[in-house]
Amino acid sequence: MSNRLTDMTWKEFASRTADTVIVPVGSTEQHGPHLPLGTDALIAEHLALDIADRIHGIVAPTLTYGYKSKPLSGGGPLFPGTIDMNGATVVAITHDLLRELIDDGVRSILVLNSHFENEAFIVEAIDLVTRETEGRATIMETNWWDPLPTDVIEKVFPEGGFPGWALEHAAVTETSLMLHYEPGLVHLDRYRPEPDARPLAYARYPVRSSDVPAQGGLASPLGSSAQKGRLIARSCVDAVERYCSTEFQSKDT
Amino acid sequence: MSNRLTDMTWKEFASRTADTVIVPVGSTEQHGPHLPLGTDALIAEHLALDIADRIHGIVAPTLTYGYKSKPLSGGGPLFPGTIDMNGATVVAITHDLLRELIDDGVRSILVLNSHFENEAFIVEAIDLVTRETEGRATIMETNWWDPLPTDVIEKVFPEGGFPGWALEHAAVTETSLMLHYEPGLVHLDRYRPEPDARPLAYARYPVRSSDVPAQGGLASPLGSSAQKGRLIARSCVDAVERYCSTEFQSKDT
Amino acid sequence: MSNRLTDMTWKEFASRTADTVIVPVGSTEQHGPHLPLGTDALIAEHLALDIADRIHGIVAPTLTYGYKSKPLSGGGPLFPGTIDMNGATVVAITHDLLRELIDDGVRSILVLNSHFENEAFIVEAIDLVTRETEGRATIMETNWWDPLPTDVIEKVFPEGGFPGWALEHAAVTETSLMLHYEPGLVHLDRYRPEPDARPLAYARYPVRSSDVPAQGGLASPLGSSAQKGRLIARSCVDAVERYCSTEFQSKDT
Amino acid sequence: MSNRLTDMTWKEFASRTADTVIVPVGSTEQHGPHLPLGTDALIAEHLALDIADRIHGIVAPTLTYGYKSKPLSGGGPLFPGTIDMNGATVVAITHDLLRELIDDGVRSILVLNSHFENEAFIVEAIDLVTRETEGRATIMETNWWDPLPTDVIEKVFPEGGFPGWALEHAAVTETSLMLHYEPGLVHLDRYRPEPDARPLAYARYPVRSSDVPAQGGLASPLGSSAQKGRLIARSCVDAVERYCSTEFQSKDT
Amino acid sequence: MSNRLTDMTWKEFASRTADTVIVPVGSTEQHGPHLPLGTDALIAEHLALDIADRIHGIVAPTLTYGYKSKPLSGGGPLFPGTIDMNGATVVAITHDLLRELIDDGVRSILVLNSHFENEAFIVEAIDLVTRETEGRATIMETNWWDPLPTDVIEKVFPEGGFPGWALEHAAVTETSLMLHYEPGLVHLDRYRPEPDARPLAYARYPVRSSDVPAQGGLASPLGSSAQKGRLIARSCVDAVERYCSTEFQSKDT
Amino acid sequence: MSNRLTDMTWKEFASRTADTVIVPVGSTEQHGPHLPLGTDALIAEHLALDIADRIHGIVAPTLTYGYKSKPLSGGGPLFPGTIDMNGATVVAITHDLLRELIDDGVRSILVLNSHFENEAFIVEAIDLVTRETEGRATIMETNWWDPLPTDVIEKVFPEGGFPGWALEHAAVTETSLMLHYEPGLVHLDRYRPEPDARPLAYARYPVRSSDVPAQGGLASPLGSSAQKGRLIARSCVDAVERYCSTEFQSKDT
């Protein structure tokens, strides 16, 4: 049986409400000249399916539209194809989805986020639902970057070239994950070397076109590989499996 | 090049903003013992891709969570796996998506709905966006049932057995479409004949479990076939192509 | 004692909370050259009073402003005098009203709608209130067209000329109801024959002035009569009385 | 031609958009043992019609559900039949109505309020609409008590017995207005003398049943008469006619 | 130990949840040529601290941004420095604050308002929170003007010159309170005599610059003194102490 | 003249709208056994005043109630005295404040945040206002930790003991800042050594009391000093002055 909720009949789902439901949350956002607009959503969905294999989880349909891409990160409205949801919209859809899962009897939910800007709004929805339902379900939120141990980062950037997460937009980690999961959608040949973006200690509005490198990525994707992507993915799945075991265990016994 | 917005880089999308963008809107809802929870979303997405082939359109990521399944239709909260969004949530996500497309320069948008209950909320979002943007874009909303001509319905129900659209939930038309598009997800063998639901001239809350047949469908899916599904799909695509030609033509010339 | 809640003192109302409260919902919308802007509200209120006579019900003040008139139906913003509420507004007012009735001890509520576009938003309010109050009250929603049996429609359109409900805006059924209930407000002499509107299988925004016949009605009102109006009204009242008997009976015993 | 917008065809309304539109706003609220729940709405509507006669204005359908009755005034949730709208709901409906009138070309609007608690929310709606429409219309808000000159109050309370506006709920002024406008709905014989409420310099929640006299009125209605009602009404109409002449004059020339 | 919640550690606060928490609510609004923009917030905070001294209360951080200054009162958008919150914003922040206090175990809350326009929105928040928490806490709302007895007003305006509260914006009472509490921020020398504003029996939008005297005050502040301010303050504190004793007593025993 | 907007008359403010307005945003949140609930708000306000001295800026009243303290950070609802605003409330108040400043003619605004959890909601408000006002003003958002250069962190944690920002709640940096700005409110003697919190790569709801050390801080405040606080403050002010010079310069010339 598939682990995708989409593919299950209601009776199949009804027989598995004791399993953890995984909600992938991505975005539709420019990812440089070489990655598709669906990069975040695709990564979240693939990772969710891999985690589901490990923990016999159920993968809910991916939230493919995410919170606004920040001006000094993805460039916000500068690039066509970036589709920015308002914060209230992200809260609303996440809220309704979580509430319905809980009302259906689900007690362990993992929200897997692959677009940094989503985080605060997802967590707000989790908080609101937790209050409303008086904590009936355990809800965990994580992503694929925070769980990575230092040694993995060192392997991905063997010569110390890690530019910091703030610049890892359409750069080595995302490109490697896409080469691992969706190689047919990666066009590294279209990338022309240009200077990395400069991380700032502040946000400033309105955005100016010079805030983001012309091609859209913040740091170079050169050096990406499917092997690195597999390493990142496996490392993330390992860690999340551990977190689920810690946090959801009391529910399973 | 794929017509899926998800698969495009931002530059590919930027080169095609004069094309019509198609937004498939579905639901995650019980569809009897034989069809998957994602039935509506899958049908909407497949049809959108077929229409895109005809009109060189772009298919945006499908809205896979829809408005509440009505008690006397899909059974609302009676069946696990039905994930109901509040009306305000459907309006919000549709609004933000349409607004972003328009702000990116898109001027022709087709919203293709496959879950009846979504309609009023989708149309509210279209109305709000149209007012905000002073009618800069032409936005059309339709589905796969309203465009079907009488002769197609007669072919699908050759002996006059059409129970009316109100009962076509998880019944012959949807099952046929799924046999055409996703045969691996159809399990007609799991269906046990039971009496059709009785359409009512009113809605009544709260729902009672006797309101909907026990398996979840409103009318029998027996008599479904992939050929009927293909006929319905082609008939819908033909009609929508015509509507696009009528309504969006001034934009293309 | 009057059945109008407006006319009762609070003590009179307090003595009747076991009765069904009927909430008429109309609109303020153009209805061609011959019917007044209040047509929908007036029809809903008259029918509600007739139903109240039958079931010893209480008629709450009519909601006289309704959801937006659809572009391809009433013409939306094309005609001065149409006053369109946003969807969220219709949900809010219906919600608050239902909630207050339930908090006052009412357990049987009938929402009687006479403007098609209201339906989804009324039902959303009913769903929200039902969840909040954990189903304490039974709430029914209907209108005057869905309950009509086929033989009544055949009597109203004796020569098979029923244009379908989609075109029955300011046409024979509404005009007949107004001739029955408010003959002084009907000016059939002002109507100039013009071609019927063409029903479409889609919605398209923004509206264009050619979408609706110049006078505002969608089909000809010629052939209307007070007798037909009385027939429609009585048939509706008969049916709704039956529905109340079925759905509210457990409350009355 | 009637001055009620409800009774006009859209063409009649279209020919009069230069006239002032009057929006009566009332409430559905307990008014003691002798006045009906619709007292506020009825008074607002009658006064609006009288003002319309004077200034050739148009009376929009009355907003019959108002903001919450305050605990230490009408008694809020203590009395069945009081139907309290949330503040946001009153703002929404007033906003949408004003916006639609302005979009239809109306430039002079008078909001006539007869339920004190409505005021702040009505004015918020006026402020929001004024900002949105950049002040295209002149909107005035008033009621029937603020315009009354001292000599009228002295005539209504000839022996100095005016208890202050805070206690004039279901008391002499409202009862007199109802005796003038709707004598058939006044049941003074049902009133049993009881001590007046005590006005407080603060609000306190939650309400306690002892906060309001048992019958619901705050001060005695004894001494009311239709003549006093007529005096109040005429005095109000006179004043409002003057205000309209001052504030809307630039529009009329 | 300070009575300011801001200054307490969480353990200090935890030991005092049986005390009354006082929430000062002010505004940031023009107050003529001689008083600072923070006048309302400063007065509310000082009075709250004085009341806290009397009743061993806790003073929560002041809400320094209030509801819109009315056009015919403070002049709304006419004067730079007036910072107007929308009604929904005032409701939201007051709601969240009250709810958190109640969830922390507080059962007696006094909301002390010093900006008239705030009142309806504060009270709406109190009502909403009271319903949500089923009346777990007693919440009182008052201000500094309603509690003043007649003899205090006569002492402040010894020769009968009280212009009425509607004109007491940046006039004698507020200026005296500021001379008492914040003399360094009062610049009476900058005031140039100009005619008082004319109170109106209606509100009219949009505001016109002639609606408010050019300097911003509605009546002359001449005749203000610190002694009068002290008298007003003490009189207010005396009264509020009495109200607290009446309304909160059942909680303390 | 004071740089506090609160202390200015409207005329003083009107003469300075070309200056940068600084909006301090804090929180009311438990800060261990030794720091007051107002820590964040006090730090934000002091820093804002120091920055204003440097750039001749205006300090708006501090937003003293912030977004929810995260469960695995400040402990959310575990500690009395933490007052959590909903996300929508933080967006609303920040939005309204920014909008009013812009409408008053201000073109350079600095939002200075001292509570990490506020950031996403502040930035959402800035984005919404920027769209509404079509980028009329330049709005910068920063805090006191992101601008700190590495060498300052090394001086504050001379022996490499920096536990990471995730644990710097009521720890050395905040305690040092408070010793610098508000020494009278710091009670280091009340702190009893306990193990640091363990930073997690995920969020989990509902919070459990074991998630946060019993006293409320996440890492030890021992080693704090007023000198370190002054160093952090000066370093922050230096950096922010530079950012203002870069980002706002075009406005000043």
How would you write E62-79 as a 3-class SS string? CECCCECCCCCCCCHHHC
Which residue in the set C121, C147, C204 is minimally distant from B140, CB to CB? C204
How far is the C-alpha of C175 from the C-alpha of F12, rounded, in Å? 66
pLDDT at E73: 82
Instruction: Please give the structure tokens belonging to residue B45.
Output: 């997405």
Cα of B15 to nearest chain C Cα, Å: 25
Annotated catalytic residue, options C31, C46, C95, C180: C31
List the single residue in E with minimal CA-CA distance to D123: E203
CB C162 within 8 A of CB C217: no
How far is the C-alpha of A87 from the C-alpha of A95, rounded, in Å? 12
How far is the C-alpha of E111 from the C-alpha of E48, rounded, in Å? 9
Q: Where are the alpha helices (DSSP H) in chain C?
A: 10-14, 39-55, 87-103, 119-132, 150-156, 172-181, 226-252
Of D35, D40, D29, the residue nearest D69 (C-alpha): D29
Q: Which residues of F touch A141 (CB under 8 A)?
A: 202-204
CB C198 within 8 A of CB C110: no
How far is the C-alpha of A205 from the C-alpha of B106, rounded, in Å? 25
| D252/E247: higher pLDDT | E247
Residue E71 pLDDT class (50, 70, 90 cuts): confident
How much of chain B, in percent, has pLDDT values that exceed 90? 92
Instruction: Please give the structure tokens belonging to residue D224.
Output: 């009311």
pLDDT at D251: 46
pLDDT in tens, D14-45: 999 999 999 999 999 999 999 999 999 999 99
Q: Which amino acid makes up residue C174?
A: E
Give DSSP secondary structure letters for D112-157: EE-SGGGHHHHHHHHHHHHHHTTT-SEEEEEESSTT--HHHHHHHS
Cis peptide before F206 (omega within 30 of 0): yes
DSSP letter assigned to residue B28: B
Instruction: Please give the structure tokens belonging to residue E58.
Output: 């806790």
Residue A253 pLDDT class (50, 70, 90 cuts): very low
pLDDT at D250: 55
Q: Which residues of D touch C81 (CB under 8 A)?
A: 5, 8-10, 13-14, 104
Strand partners, E22: E59, E110
Residue B179 exposed, middle or buried by CB count within 10 Å (0-12, 13-18, 19+): buried
Which residue in the set F121, F139, F147 is minimally distant from A120, CB to CB? F121
Tell me, yes or no, if the pTM score tops 0.90. Answer: yes
pLDDT in tens, C7-53: 999 999 999 999 999 999 999 999 999 999 999 999 999 999 999 99
Cα of E22 to nearest chain D Cα, Å: 14
How far is the C-alpha of F219 from the C-alpha of F207, rounded, in Å? 19
Answer yes or no: do F68 and A127 touch at CB < 8 A.
yes
Cα of B151 to nearest chain A Cα, Å: 32
pLDDT at D74: 84
Instruction: Please give the structure tokens belonging to residue C172.
Output: 């024979």
pLDDT at C251: 46
Classify C231 as helix, strand or coil: helix
Q: Which residues of A touch B14 (CB under 8 A)?
A: 79-81
CB D204 within 8 A of CB D221: no
Which residue in the set E120, E128, E247 is minimally distant from D204, CB to CB? E247
Annotated catalytic residue, options A19, A50, A84, A117: A117
Q: Which residues of A touch F139 (CB under 8 A)?
A: 204-205
Which residue in the set A87, A141, A204 is minimally distant from F87, CB to CB? A87
If phi > 0 it is left, if psi is from -120 to 50 it is alpha, else beta; for residue A230 that is: alpha
Positive/negative CA dihedral, A223, A226, A228, A229: positive
Mean per-residue pLDDT, B16-38: 98
The separation between CA E153 and the C-alpha centre of its own chain, rounded to angstroms, equals 17
Of B28, B171, B35, B222, the residue nearest A9 (C-alpha): B35
Answer yes or no: do A80 and B8 touch at CB < 8 A.
no
Answer yes or no: do F88 and A86 touch at CB < 8 A.
no
How much of chain C, in percent, has pLDDT values that exceed 70? 98
Looking only at the bridges linking them, the beta strands covering E21-25 and E58-59 are parallel
Answer yes or no: do A201 and F126 touch at CB < 8 A.
no
Residue C252 pLDDT class (50, 70, 90 cuts): very low
Answer yes or no: do F28 and E92 touch at CB < 8 A.
no
Produce one character per residue of F51-65: b if its CB has 16 or more CB atoms within 10 Å, e if not. Answer: bbeebebbbbbbbbb
pLDDT at B251: 46
Answer yes or no: do F92 and E92 touch at CB < 8 A.
yes
Annotated catalytic residue, options A19, A45, A84, A174: A174
Instruction: Please give the structure tokens belonging to residue D40.
Output: 């506020």
pLDDT at D81: 97
Mean per-residue pLDDT, B55-78: 92
C7 is catalytic: no
Q: Which residues of D touch C36 (CB under 8 A)?
A: 6-9
Opening angle at CA D102, ends D99 and D108, nearest 5: 120
Residue B250 pLDDT class (50, 70, 90 cuts): low
Of D126, D136, D116, D23, the residue nearest E70 (C-alpha): D126
CB F164 within 8 A of CB F211: no
**F182: which residues sit within 8 A by CB, 6+ positions away?**
F36, F42, F46
Cis peptide before A206 (omega within 30 of 0): yes
Answer yes or no: do E203 and D91 touch at CB < 8 A.
no
DSSP letter assigned to residue C28: B
Annotated catalytic residue, options C34, C95, C115, C180: C115
Annotated catalytic residue, options B34, B46, B95, B115: B115
Radius of gyration for chain D, computed over Cα atoms and rounded to the nearest angstrom: 18
Instruction: Please give the structure tokens belonging to residue E82.
Output: 């007036």
pLDDT at residue F253 tops 60: no
State the Cα torsion D15-D16-D17-D22 to the nearest 10°: -150
List the single residue in C with minimal CA-CA distance to D79: C10
Answer yes or no: do F101 and E92 touch at CB < 8 A.
no
Cα of E27 to nearest chain F Cα, Å: 10
How far is the C-alpha of F28 from the C-alpha of F38, rounded, in Å? 5
D117 is catalytic: yes
pLDDT at D160: 84
Mean per-residue pLDDT, F78-99: 97
Cα of C32 to nearest chain D Cα, Å: 7
Q: Which residues of C touch D31 (CB under 8 A)?
A: 9-10
Answer yes or no: do A9 and B190 touch at CB < 8 A.
yes
How far is the C-alpha of E193 from the C-alpha of E178, rounded, in Å? 19
- Three-class secondary structure assignment of chain A: CCCEHHHCCHHHHHCCCCCCEEEEECCECCECCCECCCHHHHHHHHHHHHHHHHHCCEECCCECCCECCCCCCCCHHHCCCCECECHHHHHHHHHHHHHHHHHCCCCEEEEEECCHHHHHHHHHHHHHHHHHCCCCCEEEEEECCCCCCHHHHHHHCCCCCCCCHHHCCCCHHHHHHHHHHCHHHCCHHHCCCCCCCCCCCCEEECCCHHHCCCCCCCCCCCCCCHHHHHHHHHHHHHHHHHHHHHHHHHHHC
CB F176 within 8 A of CB F156: yes
Which residue in the set C17, C34, C101 is minimally distant from D9, CB to CB? C34
Mean per-residue pLDDT, A202-226: 95
pLDDT at A251: 46
Least confident of A120-129, C170-179, F36-45, F158-167: F158-167
Average pLDDT, chain F: 95
Chain E neighbors (3+ CB pairs < 8 Å)? D, F
Which residue in the set C65, C96, C216 is minimally distant from D85, CB to CB? C96
Which residue in the set B7, B38, B61 is minimally distant from A65, CB to CB? B61
Mean per-residue pLDDT, F135-143: 98
pLDDT at F70: 86
**F16: which residues sit within 8 A by CB, 6+ positions away?**
F8, F58
Place of tokens 């049908």: B43
The separation between CA D60 and the C-alpha centre of its own chain, rounded to angstroms, equals 14
In the structure, how many helices (H) and strands (E) does chain F have? 7, 5
pLDDT in tens, B180-230: 999 999 999 999 999 999 999 999 999 999 999 999 999 999 999 999 999
Mean per-residue pLDDT, F89-100: 98
CB B85 within 8 A of CB B24: no
pLDDT at residue E96 tops 50: yes
Mean per-residue pLDDT, D223-251: 93
Instruction: Please give the structure tokens belonging to residue E97.
Output: 């604050």
CB D74 within 8 A of CB C1: no
CB F187 within 8 A of CB F34: yes
Angle between helical axes of A87-103 and A119-132 (0-180°, round to 10): 40
How far is the C-alpha of D93 from the C-alpha of D107, rounded, in Å? 19
C252 is catalytic: no
How far is the C-alpha of C70 from the C-alpha of F89, rounded, in Å? 34
List the single residue in D with minimal CA-CA distance to C215: D11
CB B32 within 8 A of CB B81: no
pLDDT at A215: 96
**Residue of F1, F4, F6, F185 to mutate for E, most E C-beta atoms under 10 A:** F6
Instruction: Please give the structure tokens belonging to residue C108.
Output: 């049987």
pLDDT at E204: 96
How far is the C-alpha of E17 from the C-alpha of C64, rounded, in Å? 48
pLDDT at A74: 83
Cα of F157 to nearest chain E Cα, Å: 25
Residue F250 pLDDT class (50, 70, 90 cuts): low
Looking only at the bridges linking them, the beta strands covering B203-205 and B138-143 are unpaired
Answer yes or no: do C124 and B201 touch at CB < 8 A.
no
**E168: which residues sit within 8 A by CB, 6+ positions away?**
E145, E174, E218, E219
Instruction: Please give the structure tokens belonging to residue D83.
Output: 């139907």
Q: Which residues of E touch F9 (CB under 8 A)?
A: 30-37, 81, 187, 190
